[in-house]
Chain A
Amino acid sequence: MTGPIRVAIAEDSAILRDGLVQLLVDRGFVVTDAVSEPDALRRSVERDCPDVAVVDIRMPPTFTDEGLRAAIDLRNQHSGLGILLFSQYIETRYAAELLADDAAGIGYLLKDRVADVTDFVEALVRVASGGTALDPEVVTQLLGASRRADSISVLSAREKEVLSLMAEGRSNAAIATELVISEGAVEKHVANIFMKFDLPVSQSDHRRVLAVLRFLES
């Protein structure tokens, strides 16, 4: 990717929208547009072709899941567009719907995450460049609700940590930094997890996210 990342923002709370613009500009992003409702976002994406859209799930007119609907439409029309869904609550159903066919360029984060600016920016960059960023809360819910409790219980504590971070969409390098271990050690844990789950090892980060999520949901 050349040049700064171009971001469109759709968020109906003015105070949060302004804050996001300020934060992203401060961090060297280009904000192509900041709008407050889904139709304006559709037009804006059509016009500016941003790399990634940050989309609030609850927006006018009905304040239910307009943002999610708009995001799914935009995904179908603009294949390269990254989508970072942004919400006050985590609904596992939304995550499942969004990740229905692909996890590339998809993010789903709690709004609270902006407080940790660096993590948030990292997640946004990851989504913009075709990766995945799932909120730890999503992962926790998926793990908790999974019918694969037997499989999960055979993992070691370290492997569970790696699994969670992997499911969030982090790369091996990022996992290594987070857990303060070597990248080689992470690779070994990942290989173990896939072996214990009896899954084929995937190369790219977003493919393995999808593989893990499918496994947990099935």
Chain B
Amino acid sequence: MVIVISEDLETRLRGTVGTILREPFTKRTWSEFWFLVLGAALAFFGIAFVGLTMVVGVVFAITFFGLAVIGLSLRGARGIGRIQRGMARGLLGEQIEDPDPFSPRPGFLGWLQSALRDRTGWRSMAYVAVKVPLAIFGIFTAFSVWFDAFTCLTYPFVGGNQPSEFGLIRVLFQPGYFSIGGPGWLHGAAIFFTGIVLFLVAPWAVRAVIYVDRFLMQALLAPDAMAIRVRSLEHARAQTVDASAATLRRIERDLHDGTQAQLVALAMRLGMAKEKLADPDNLDLDQVRELVNSAHRGAKETIVELRDLARGIHPPALDIGLEGALSTLAARSTIPTDLALSFNDRPTPAIEAIAYFCVAELLANVAQHANASQASVTCAQHGRWLRLVVRDDGIGGAQLSKVGSSSSGLVGLTERVHAVDGRFDITSPPRGPTVVTVDLPLHA
């Protein structure tokens, strides 16, 4: 056991020492060094730009000119933020999500209002302001360790009394530190050894500064929590709008292909019958009877189609509440279906409709594809959530992919559920059973 631990320790120690020895020569170290230098240059340029424009802007702030300059300043800060993110991506491999692009409202006043209210611009400006002291500190640190490491390492070869000193080294160590032991080989070796230590420490010193910068960039240059929430809401809203457009299109298609075609055919038959009746000399009553019969049939079919269509838009069963509507659905299903309902609060109409359509579609899928002998529907309230579970003992293999006609209905359901911040989950291993779980908020 002891041997094992010591071996383990040895490997870990070797790893650590190897890392320390290799680090000054890695690409990462030098990328970080360049990031520090370029980032500092950008920060100094940024503070000059922002400072100048903000001063001018604030001085003239009572005029539109001043406000426009502040707007420009914010737009510039946004641009600096973008460059900074690019550098972080390119040199550090740090992925900082891009905020939404600036999309001003039309017109000068619209632009001004959007620019002045641009949170991303203000946050980028804050980044520039905070970055400047960090950049100064970072440059100071990097140069003091790298520069002193360099001069210490070269000291024994170039000669002279003292190696040059810079920055932190001069502050932290007493003057004369480098002259311990007086002249001689020991003196040179001590300075050389200090150089090696500094050389090995340098990458980590820079990395520590970069670490703080990473944190700053994530905090100020990435979209903030509010922006993320807004984005997800916008996405949900777009989905809702798309879904309702798709619904309208489906209804139009149903009306066009079904009802309208039926009515045209009906009118045509009646037109033929009318023309035959208008010509009493060549009247073939059987023909007319057949025309009227088929017109009559067509009219009845159209009524049924219209009723189904109307039910697809808003199920009348929902008028008596979700319990009744779901009972009707379960009773109408061709597969024997158990129903268990337990909820106290009535969901809002939109949620009831989504729940109803989910159960209707899922039961229809069970009947068509699952080859099941038994299905069950449970609908239970959990706090402010409604959980629907539709289960069958069929062949399974149901998927949420977009291909195939049977699953496109599922995709449509998912979109509807997501639009109200709900969750749609399906487990359907081959040979079954299939369980679909839908969580909906009680109030949307």
Residues on A lying within 8 angstroms of B by beta carbon are 12-13, 15-16, 18-20, 22-23, 26, 58, 63, 88, 111-112, 114-118
Contacts and interface: CB of A to CB of B under 8 A. Distances in A.
Interface in B247-303: 253, 256-257, 260-262, 264-265, 267-272, 275, 298
Contacts of A116: 271
B291 to A, nearest CB: 9
Contact of B257 (A13, A20, A115): A13
Residue among A15, A16, A22, A116 having the largest count of chain B Cβ atoms under 10 Å: A15
A115 B267 contact: yes
B346 to A, nearest CB: 39
Contacts of B257: 12-13
B272 A16 contact: no
Contacts of B267: 112, 114-115
A184 to B, nearest CB: 30
Contact of B268 (A12, A23, A88): A23
B272 A15 contact: no
A193 B15 CA distance: 99
B271 A115 contact: yes
B261 A15 contact: yes
A13 B261 contact: yes
Contacts of A88: 256, 260
Contact of B264 (A16, A18, A22, A118): A16
A12 B256 CA distance: 11
Contact of A19 (B256, B260, B265, B275): B265
A147 B78 CA distance: 50
A117 B264 contact: no
A7 to B, nearest CB: 15
Nearest to B275: A117
A23 B253 contact: no
Nearest to B255: A88
A117 B298 contact: no
Instruction: Give chain A's interface secondary structure class.
Output: helix
B256 A117 contact: no
Contact of B253 (A20, A63, A111, A118): A63
Contacts of A63: 253
A91 to B, nearest CB: 14
A27 to B, nearest CB: 9
A118 B275 contact: yes
Nearest to A121: B275
B253 A15 contact: no
Contacts of B271: 114-117
Contacts of B264: 16, 19, 111-112, 114-115
Contacts of B275: 117-118
B260 A15 contact: no
A23 B272 CA distance: 7
Contacts of A12: 257
A118 B272 CA distance: 9
8 contacts: A15-B261, A19-B264, A19-B268, A26-B272, A58-B256, A88-B260, A114-B264, A116-B271
B399 to A, nearest CB: 23
Which 5 residue pairs are nearest across A and B when measured between Cβ atoms? A115-B267, A13-B261, A19-B265, A114-B268, A115-B271
Contacts of B270: 115
A8 B270 CA distance: 23
Contacts of B261: 13, 15-16, 111
Contacts of B269: 19
B298 to A, nearest CB: 7
A128 B407 CA distance: 46
Given A16-B265, A19-B269, A114-B267, 18 more contacts: A13-B257, A13-B261, A13-B265, A16-B268, A19-B268, A22-B272, A23-B268, A26-B272, A63-B253, A111-B260, A112-B267, A114-B264, A114-B271, A115-B268, A116-B271, A117-B268, A117-B272, A118-B275
Nearest to B273: A117
Nearest to B290: A22
Nearest to A13: B261
B304 to A, nearest CB: 13
B289 to A, nearest CB: 14
A115 B269 CA distance: 7
B262 A15 contact: yes
